[in-house]
Structure 1
Amino acid sequence: MTQPIRRDFYGDRNGATRIEIFDELSDTAKAALYAFFRRTGAPHLMDEVVLPLFHDGDSQIFAAVRDRPWPPWGLGARNIVGVLQTHLVSDGCWGLSPVHVADEDLTNTGLSAALYKEALETLAVDPGAEVHYLVAEDSRLVDLAMRRAGFERTEDVFLTEAARYLTYRAPARELLKKLGLAGPDSVDVLAGAVDDEVFERNAAFHGTVYLGSRAEWTADRVSVASEIARLVRGGHYSKPAGVPTGTGRYERDVIDEVAQGVREFLTVAEQEDLLRYVLDRESEFKAATIRAHGADSAVVDERVRRSSVLHDLGGFRALFAERIREQLEAVRSRLGFPAFPLGDIELQVTANGDRDYFGMHRDSDGDDTRELSFVYFFSAEPRQFSGGELRVFETVVENGRLVPTDRSQTIVPRPNLAVFFPSRHDHEVLPVRVPSRAFADSRFSVTGWIHRK
């Protein structure tokens, strides 16, 4: 016998609510988000957490919105009542914030569940996508809630000065099913039109995640342990090639000192021709090599780098050299990089397929003529890969040695974006996920080095 659906206290209120997904933030959207977090009593979260994560790329904000009746535009038109943020942590792995709500919606299970459902469905487009949480090792309540929701506790450990955390992981698609959110649509979930078992399961899960995370953003001291800790991008996984664990702050305001981007580097026709040229030469791509400092020859070493390269750019070599020369002076000036006599421009095409990456390295130790490094991103549209961010660390000279600082910028591989940075800067390409494993769906780039004469 089917269990009757009970009326929900929040049903009428949620009936006037819609869910909006932000991939970009307008000034009016930012104002609405600032107002929301002020109402929750945590206004600092926007500047200290939400915006830095969002600007790092591969992050989305899911917001429950109640529009004012008139005028339905301009400042104040969006009344945000719930927020959930996702961000890529590492290859195919996503961190999800708790569902943030104001006090009047703390027991609004339909609102929390609907936001979470929208986020999971977006992630689950990639069949291999996983949701990860960091849970304190001796947790009891959160451990129970996670395991009942289908999470697996792993021995992947993250240490802070306050506690030791273990990684809990669950496939996004399975989590949807386990929470009972795969069947009903978001409108029914918002209305509370689910049976008692699904309602109770979501109430327990979302309430526990919210309360277990709360100490982290309300405590005055960073040494206070929260039962659930925020996942740091690239931080909790020990990746190949010695990429440091738990290092690197992503500060938007240091981009001018680390790297410079140029949008719309090629015309639409030139982009299409370039992609066609590359796809027609799939058989000519060779395994990428590395040359260790002081070594006589380059070798293939997948512990450090896994990708394939094409050295013959045909007529595109002259095109890219011309565009680089056109942009060079302006880019050099914005970087604060000293002028140098222009020499050779070295170029190649790189294809990053499923599980490819390039560990932390630098393109010059000062013993050669490379001055600036160059990366131009392109791919098939719509994009069929995830990950593959370029992370560039500011690198300075200390006691005669080049040393990376904790100032860095993660750059999402957006089509038709060219990036310039000093060749001495340490940098890495984070792992790429290509679910189809088709060459045509790879993360492509034209990479190169600008030499002094």
Structure 2
Amino acid sequence: MTQPIRRDFFTDGNGGTRIEIFDELSETAKAALHTFFRRVGTPHLMDEVVLPLFGDGDSQVFAAVRDRPWPPWGLGARNIVAFVQTHLVGDGCWGLSPVHVADEDLTNVGLCAAVYKEALETLAVDPNAEVHYLLAEGSRLADLILRRVGFERTEDAFLTEAARYLTYRAPAGELLQGLGLAEADTVDVLAGALDDDVFELNAAFHNTIYLGSRAEWVVDRPSVPSEIARLVRGGHYSKPAGVPTGTGRYERDAIAEVAQGVRQFLAEAEADEFRAYVLSRESEFKPATVQMSGATDPVVDERVRSSLVLDELGPYEALFTERIKEHLQQVGGRMNHPAFPLGRIELQVTANGDRDYFGMHRDSDGGDTRELSFVYFFPGEPRRFSGGELRVFETVLENGTVVPTDRSQTIVPRANLAMFFPSRHDHEVLPVRVPSKSFADSRFSVTGWIHRQ
């Protein structure tokens, strides 16, 4: 029998709460997070965990925020009341922190579930995304709760001086289902409008993750094991039957950056006019195509690439071509890319809407004339999407074959930023989330390919 849905003690307090996603941290955002961690009694976590994970890239913070009533801006405007951080630990594998809340919200199940739901929904845009936790061997409560919501225990082991840990994994989308949150609206979750079974399941899950992890950041003795251990990037992590990441096979300092950027690529007026022009051509955008190996014609294949494209820049074609030429020598030198006789420049506009992405690919295998790839970002301000980072992997030539290395650079799509990188580099566009589903709120970019003559 379905349990009745009812309000709870925290419903009114959660009413003025919104979930904010940080994929970059401004100084005011850092101040708000510092204040939050000081208030919950763990001020060291900000400098020892949160910021280092952000520095590694592929990390986002999801925070429940209650704005002060007036003035609702500037330093101190955000009052953060709940926090969870995601970070990539391997190919498609994500670690999630416990949901941190102040003492007065430790039993605020709606608040914890809403923040965690937003994080899972962002990850689940990628159908292959998995959530991983490390549980100490012999765990009983954590093992029981994680398996109850859909986690699989694997024999992928990790040893520390304190304990032996096993990897528990669950697809992000299935975890949403397992927690009973897939069909629930975030506003309803915040209000605690969950039936008793779902409410109890989320309470057990979040309290177990929080308490099982607590020893790791509270007990200052490495010999004391924590039942749930923090995930680290690289190392032993891989998908089943996959190749572990972070092997360091090509570690070296010869290349400072995989890609090189130019800020303020267009004048402010030019950027505004160009964006208005693109928005006015919405009806002309077509589904993006890919060139499959061995095929003669490009095809639409959303298993590889999902987006809309506009193949003509109209009156702005010449502007972009000339601006690219102006910066070409400088960025090529910074990348240590050999000079080449300049040929044609291809350009197209891409709009990435909700759940769009572009899987790992390279623009050239050396068999064509593409030398450098170019991406110019022009999202609306403020950005009304999350995700969509461009991740570029370094490659090297090994016995005449292009081989990817473990080095990568993740670029947040900031307005009026242009990036250049060698076309032989593997790269991808991470999944995009556009809550409004509006075309104008999409992740917009100009993609180009600079050919040798």
Q: Which position in structure 1 is the counterpart of 2:284? A: 280
Gaps of 5+ in 1: none
2:421 paired with 1:421: yes
Q: Which position in structure 2 is the counterpart of 1:319? A: 319
Aligned in 2, Cα 1:263/1:176: closer, same or farther, shift over 3 Å? farther
Aligned in 2, Cα 1:270/1:183: closer, same or farther, shift over 3 Å? closer
Gaps of 5+ in 2: none
Contact 2:86–2:119 (8 Å) recurs in 1: no
Root mean square deviation, CA, Å: 5.9
CA displacement, residues 364-390 of structure 1 (integer Å, 9 cap, x when unaligned): 54x765442212345789988765432
Q: TM-score, normalising length from structure 1?
A: 0.65
**C-alpha distance in 1, partners of 2:130/2:401?**
37
Instruction: Tell me the secondary structure at the aligned position of residue 267 of structure 1.
Output: helix
- Counterparts in 2 of 1:60-75, with a 5 A limit? 60-62=61-63
Aligned in 2, Cα 1:45/1:300: closer, same or farther, shift over 3 Å? same
Match for 1:108 among 106, 109, 128?
106
2:279 paired with 1:269: no
Q: Which position in structure 2 is the counterpart of 1:26? A: 26
Counterpart residue identity of residue 423, structure 1: S
- Counterparts in 2 of 1:33-432, with a 5 A limit? 33-34=33-34, 36-37=36-37, 40-41=41-42, 43=44, 45-50=46-51, 52-53=53-54, 56=57, 59-62=60-63, 82-86=82-86, 96-101=96-101, 105=103, 108-110=106-108, 113-120=110-117, 133-136=131-134, 139-146=139-146, 151-154=149-152, 160=158, 163-169=165-171, 170=174, 172=176, 175=179, 186=190, 203-214=203-214, 227=228, 230=231, 246-247=245-246, 257-263=257-263, 265=266, 267-277=271-281, 279-282=283-286, 287-290=289-292, 305-306=304-305, 311-332=311-332, 335-337=334-336, 340=339, 343-349=342-348, 357-361=358-362, 363=364, 365=366, 370-377=370-377, 387-396=387-396, 402-414=402-414, 416-431=416-431
Counterpart residue identity of residue 392, structure 2: V
Contact 2:386–2:434 (8 Å) recurs in 1: yes
Offset of 1:99 from its aligned partner?
A: 2.1
Offset of 1:259 from its aligned partner?
A: 1.9
**C-alpha distance in 2, partners of 1:71/1:307?**
41
**C-alpha distance in 2, partners of 1:129/1:220?**
38
% identity of equivalent residues: 43
What is the count of residue pairs matched by the alignment?
Answer: 427
**C-alpha distance in 1, partners of 2:299/2:67?**
55
Instruction: Tell me the secondary structure at the aligned position of residue 448 of structure 1.
Output: strand
**C-alpha distance in 1, partners of 2:343/2:196?**
69
**C-alpha distance in 2, partners of 1:226/1:391?**
33
Offset of 1:208 from its aligned partner?
A: 0.7
Contact 2:147–2:153 (8 Å) recurs in 1: no
Contact 1:331–1:420 (8 Å) recurs in 2: yes
Counterpart residue identity of residue 170, structure 2: Y
Contact 1:5–1:195 (8 Å) recurs in 2: no
**C-alpha distance in 2, partners of 1:32/1:84?**
14
Instruction: Tell me the secondary structure at the aligned position of residue 274 of structure 1.
Output: helix
**C-alpha distance in 2, partners of 1:209/1:73?**
34
**C-alpha distance in 2, partners of 1:72/1:383?**
19
Aligned in 2, Cα 1:221/1:108: closer, same or farther, shift over 3 Å? closer
**C-alpha distance in 1, partners of 2:284/2:357?**
21
**C-alpha distance in 1, partners of 2:140/2:185?**
25
Offset of 1:336 from its aligned partner?
A: 4.4
Contact 1:212–1:226 (8 Å) recurs in 2: yes
CA displacement, residues 83-102 of structure 1 (integer Å, 9 cap, x when unaligned): 32356899999764212357
**C-alpha distance in 2, partners of 1:157/1:315?**
59
Aligned in 2, Cα 1:91/1:66: closer, same or farther, shift over 3 Å? same
